[in-house]
A and B are shown apart, each in its own frame.
Chain A
Amino acid sequence: MSFIKLGLTEMKKLFQQPEIYIALFLCTVYYYLGLRDTGDSFNPTSGLWRAMLDAVPWFGFWMIAVLVVIGSAKCLPIEREQEMNELLLTYKKGQVQLLMVKQAVMFIYCAIIVSYFYLVSFFTLVSKYSISGAFNQIKVNPPVYFINANPDWTFAQLLLFQFGYMVLASYIFSLCILALSFFIKRSVFIMMIAGSVFALEELYDKYLCYYTGSMKLDVYLRNIYDYGFNGMLGHQYLEGLSPFSEGEIYILFMVFALLLFAFNLAIGRWRRYASVGN
């Protein structure tokens, strides 16, 4: 019961940040603008569902990443910035439980953010396409970013798969930002580092790669992009070069998430002992 209570308090603390609402408003506007030319209006078969599947790996994951960065950057430093750190050391349940709750709350936050953007794309695209065709097989109008997907799957199945994939990928990204928070004191610098790395990689993929294409450096940069957070959120793990099947990707991401979860707990515990002088 205390676990749920603590979770609700942490959730309240997270959603009281005004920056999240500033970002949510602007990202929604941008997502809406970007969605206007998504999808193939000449082939309207299951057009709505195909456009929804294509929008996320094209540019939808940027909006999700921005909100994950903003939400995660302040999650741990919030107590330190409000000078509550010493008071928290007196918390009878201990730092570990608090960290567990914070990480669980971040999972819920990621799921909410991903669901929100799926809803935005649904309501934006429903005016352009017919709602029918969710249970058609994807081979009738194959989505651009799922070249390896089983053609017998239906659009609803693939959409559910993509939703789960995005929640897991964004949660891994969020856990990495939480890990960064143990080493950087101010939330603004955490946000700047995480956001800049993500944005620079995207700038490389969308623009700079045309200029570095002939250099040997491009091979390394491409690998960093493909196997980094950008590739993870941008569905690069599901493309032709990936040695994993769809099911294996889920297991791989879950293992990643669990390892990061445990790593953060260990670091948090160690830092607590360090702060009390043991």
Chain B
Amino acid sequence: MEQNKNFEDKLEALLQTYPLPKIHEGDKQETIDVLKTYMPIRRERTIVLMKELIWKAFIDLLWHYKRQLCMTILLMFFIYTVLPLTMEKWLFFIFTSPLPILVIGWHFMNEQTEDMVELECTYKYSFQQILFSKIVAMTISSIVIYTCTVFYMILIHHVELSLSIFRIASLGLTPILLFSLTLLFLSVRYRDVLSWTVIILIWIFFVLLSISTSVGTVLLSINYLVYFVINVVLLALLVYRLVRVWGMERLPYEFH
């Protein structure tokens, strides 16, 4: 017992002889800064983040695809102005409504190469969040362009804002929503520009089929309420899929 006490005294005396290192105030601050980087980051509210991302995607879309969009819009307005108001014209009008989404979607899929996806994975936002914002921006842009064309048609043909216009508006909205949903599905499941090219090609032949056979007449004669219901279902599906994509940890099918 006595021996232990002596040892402790000796040890204490020895430790007292050690010089204490002098800590500078600057070093303290540096350590605090380093530790702060490991602290959990304050997360923004989801809705605020969504708004911010969609706006960014919208600006990005207008800036990157300005030439393609301008050419597409000019072509659409040219077709509407030149062709006389016949049934074929209404069919063209409906079938050209998803043109912006088809054109931008092609570029969008074409850019999703393996290298590009890897680069996007290093961004501040997750790949799924970027995908979400791009799809939403593309759909909204297409709907805005389509609305402008509807007003243009009313203006040049002095068509009354009647039930027929509502029917045409509902009809044109269906392909936009359908293609947005398809683009989202293909972007998540099967990321290849070839699939989107196939979709475009088949859409062109569907247009031809509608003009040449009675398919077009049947499409125009269906009650607008049917299209309204289809649009609501498609919109619900699109929102559901988008919410799922936003919440995904990682995409189920990685690069080819």
Chain A residues in the interface with B (C-beta under 8 A): 18-19, 22-23, 26-27, 30, 33-34, 36-37, 58-59, 62-63, 66, 69-70, 74, 187-188, 191-192, 195, 199, 202-203, 206-207
Q: Check A207 against B198 for contact (C-beta < 8 Å).
A: no
**Least Cβ–Cβ distance between B21 and chain A, in angstroms:** 58
In the assembled complex, the Cα of A258 lies from the Cα of B213 at a distance in Å of 36
Q: Which of B4-12, B62-70, B148-156, B200-208 contacts A (4 or more CB under 8 A)?
A: B200-208
Mark interface residues in B1-40 (1 if CB within 8 Å of A CB, else 0).
Answer: 0000000000000000000000000000000000000000
Majority DSSP secondary structure for residues of B touching A: helix
Chain B positions within 8 Å of A, measured between CB atoms, are 88, 110, 190, 193-195, 197-199, 201-202, 204-206, 208-209, 211-215, 218
Work out how many contacts link A and B, with CB atoms closer than 8 A.
73
**Which of A70, A188, A206 counts the most B-chain CB atoms under 10 A from its CB?**
A188
Which 7 pairs show the lowest CB-CB distances between chains A and B?
Answer: A195-B201, A37-B214, A199-B204, A19-B198, A34-B213, A26-B202, A62-B205
Q: By DSSP majority rule, is chain A's interface helix, strand, loop, or mixed?
A: helix
**Is there contact, CB below 8 Å, between B202 and A191?**
no
Cβ–Cβ contact B88 & A62, under 8 A: no
CA distance A192 to B198 in the complex (A): 9
> Separation in Å of the B201 CB from the closest CB of chain A?
4
| Between-chain CB contacts (< 8 Å), 17 pairs | A22-B199, A22-B202, A26-B202, A30-B202, A30-B215, A37-B213, A59-B208, A59-B212, A66-B202, A66-B205, A70-B198, A70-B201, A74-B194, A195-B201, A202-B208, A206-B211, A206-B212
CB distance from B250 to the nearest CB of A (A): 22
Q: Is the CB of A63 within 8 A of B197?
A: no
CB contacts (< 8 Å) of B195 on chain A: these are 18-19, 22
Which chain B residue has the least Cβ–Cβ distance from A82? B256
Enumerate chain B residues within 8 angstroms of A34, measured Cβ to Cβ: 209, 213, 215
CA distance A33 to B88 in the complex (A): 18
With beta carbons under 8 angstroms apart, the residue of B197, B199, B206 that contacts A188 is B197
Q: Which residues does chain A contribute within 8 Å of B211, judged by CB atoms?
A: 206-207
| Assembly CA distance A74 to B201 (angstroms) | 15
The CA-CA distance from A178 to B194 in the complex, in Å, is 17
